[in-house]
Amino acid sequence: MCHTAPHVLRALLCHLTPAISNYIVFQVESGAHCIQIIDSWGGQLAPDMWERGQGHDIYIVKNKCPQTPLVLYINGNGGLLERMKATGVDVIGLDWTVDMEDGRKRLAKEISVQGNVDPACLFSPLPALTEEIQRFVTKFYNQACMLNLTLAL
């Protein structure tokens, strides 16, 4: 749709963005202390296309509740990290294909990161999974990083 009918996509997003923003305001007013937006397909877009579309919309959503921490996760986000940061979000979720150290360097220290243990580790024997988690915690101790390990089925 972004190539074949971009005007239709933009019209759709122009309706969705205010609805999502209003829902986030409702969540915050109801007691949410943090919001996470998960864009499961954003990493499939060219970076400039994501920036013109979803990136702009994330910026709008963030500005509806600027005091509420916003986490942004995009699956396959290696090519989008700097653009994600430019939206003003507070935390960027890195998927397992992005080296945490590289991501940390690209984003600088003023933004927190969340990630990025490979979800395939969940199929490992418990000692191997424990070792991977310990490696992460030891390596990123005392940095603005949060461990995240999930598997969507």
- Calpha distance 79→98 (Å, rounded): 9
Output the pLDDT for position 150: 66
| pLDDT reported for residue 53 | 81
The sheet carrying 35-39 orders its strands as 35-39, 70-74, 91-94, 112-116, 145-148
Distance between CA atoms of residues 152 and 24, nearest Å: 23
Token couple for 121: 């580790």
Model confidence, pTM? 0.86
Confidence of residue 148 (pLDDT cuts 50, 70, 90): confident
Question: What value does the mean pLDDT take over residues 131-145?
Answer: 82
Residue 152 is predicted with a pLDDT of 56
- Which CA distances in Å does 136 have to 59, 68, 99? 30, 27, 11
pLDDT single digits (tens) 7-61: 898 888 889 889 999 999 999 999 999 999 998 888 888 998 888 888 888 988 8
Phi, psi at 9, each rounded to 5° = -60, -45
| Partners of 39 in beta bridges | 74
Q: pLDDT digits over 70-127, tens only? A: 999 999 999 999 999 999 999 999 988 998 889 989 998 889 998 888 888 889 999 9
Delineate the domains of the chain, giving CATH numbers in brackets.
6-148 (3.20.20.210)
Burial call 88-105: b when 16+ CB within 10 Å, e when fewer: ebbbbbbbbebebeebbe
- Neighbouring C-beta atoms of residue 134, cutoff 10 Å: 10
